[in-house]
């Protein structure tokens, strides 16, 4: 009991010292740790150890960035290939170089050509869906005609109702589907997919979404207005689907 009473003043003094000097001590330790970390990048260039450490860290950061970019591209390509349902089809990646005419008319010039086994009539898709068909091919480039270009016809089917018809674009670039049977009327919001019955496009590639259902020009069928799945104003990277017989 007496010993405890003798230690009490010492405990009180120690507590007061911690209260007064504690923040300063912690601040000093934190500053020291911060200086050591900062020295990893901003230390004297003459120090070999610091230089090699900084170089290694920067190389690892760059490698990490490259791996992340590769992973993102791999995910994108897998998504693109997910639309292809025919086993006899292979694909190559292509980048859009420029568009030949405006935002509605004209085609997209891609950085792939006959040396990459691209042939006229190859189908071109993007992550969101169908882009169009290859119209001309040079050694290192090719031109794809988008489905929003008048004159490009696509045999199509509505995903839920099963209604079939022909997708084409008007002169102002609006996409529509004609010759749809009235017996199976589609609904607004239904997805429109490519149909293999046209003999050109693989089955099941997304074309767009039905935005309106109207009476056909002849009054005996239904016409649909379609919002394209692909944003043709921001088209950057695509896949070109190639038949196996075009392999070198």
pLDDT digits (tens, 9 = 90+) for 73-101: 555 555 555 544 455 567 889 999 988 87
- What superfamily would CATH give domain 89-248? Rod shape-determining protein MreC, domain 2 (2.40.10.350)
Chunk the chain into consecutive blocks of 10 residues (it has 248) and report each block's average pLDDT, rounded to whole numbers: 57 57 52 54 55 71 69 57 54 89 74 92 91 94 93 90 90 87 86 85 91 78 92 90 62
Q: How many CA atoms lie within 13 A of 133 on its CB side?
A: 17
CB atoms closer than 10 angstroms to residue 230: 23
- Residue spans of the domains in the chain: they are 2-78, 89-248
pLDDT digits (tens, 9 = 90+) for 6-25: 555 665 655 655 555 555 55
The answer to whether 154 touches 147, Cβ cutoff 8 Å, is yes
pLDDT at position 151, please?
Answer: 87
pLDDT at position 102, please?
Answer: 57
pLDDT at position 4, please?
Answer: 54
pTM score, whole prediction = 0.63
pLDDT at position 119, please?
Answer: 92
**CA atoms of 118 and 85, how far apart (whole Å):** 19
Reduced to 3 states (helix: H, G, I; strand: E, B; else coil), residue 127 is coil
Burial of 59 (0-12, 13-18, 19+ CB in 10 A): exposed
pLDDT at position 39, please?
Answer: 55
| Torsion sign (Cα): 121, 127, 131, 135 | negative
The answer to whether 183 touches 225, Cβ cutoff 8 Å, is no
């Amino acid at each position: 009991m007496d010993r405890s009473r003798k230690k009490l003043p010492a405990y009180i003094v120690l507590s007061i010292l911690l209260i007064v000097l504690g923040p300063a001590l912690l601040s000093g330790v934190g500053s020291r740790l911060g200086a050591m970390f900062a020295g990893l990048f901003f230390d004297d260039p003459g120090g070999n150890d610091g230089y090699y450490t900084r170089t290694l860290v920067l190389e690892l950061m760059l490698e990490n960035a490259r791996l992340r970019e590769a992973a993102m591209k791999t995910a994108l390509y897998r998504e693109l290939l997910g639309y292809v349902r025919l086993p006899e089809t292979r694909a190559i990646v292509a980048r859009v170089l420029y568009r030949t005419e405006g935002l509605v008319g004209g085609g997209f010039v891609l950085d792939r050509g006959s040396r990459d086994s691209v042939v006229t009539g190859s189908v071109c898709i993007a992550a969101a869906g169908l882009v169009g068909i290859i119209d001309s091919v040079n050694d290192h480039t090719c031109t794809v005609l988008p489905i929003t270009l008048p004159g490009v016809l696509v045999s199509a089917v509505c995903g839920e109702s099963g209604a079939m018809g022909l997708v084409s674009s008007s002169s102002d670039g609006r996409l529509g589907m004609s010759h749809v049977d009235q017996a199976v009327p589609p609904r607004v919001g239904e997805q429109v997919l490519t149909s293999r019955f046209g003999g050109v496009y693989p089955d099941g590639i997304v074309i767009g979404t039905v935005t309106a259902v109207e009476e056909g020009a002849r009054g005996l069928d239904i016409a649909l207005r379609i919002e394209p799945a692909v944003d043709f104003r921001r088209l950057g990277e695509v896949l070109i689907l190639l038949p196996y017989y075009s392999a070198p």
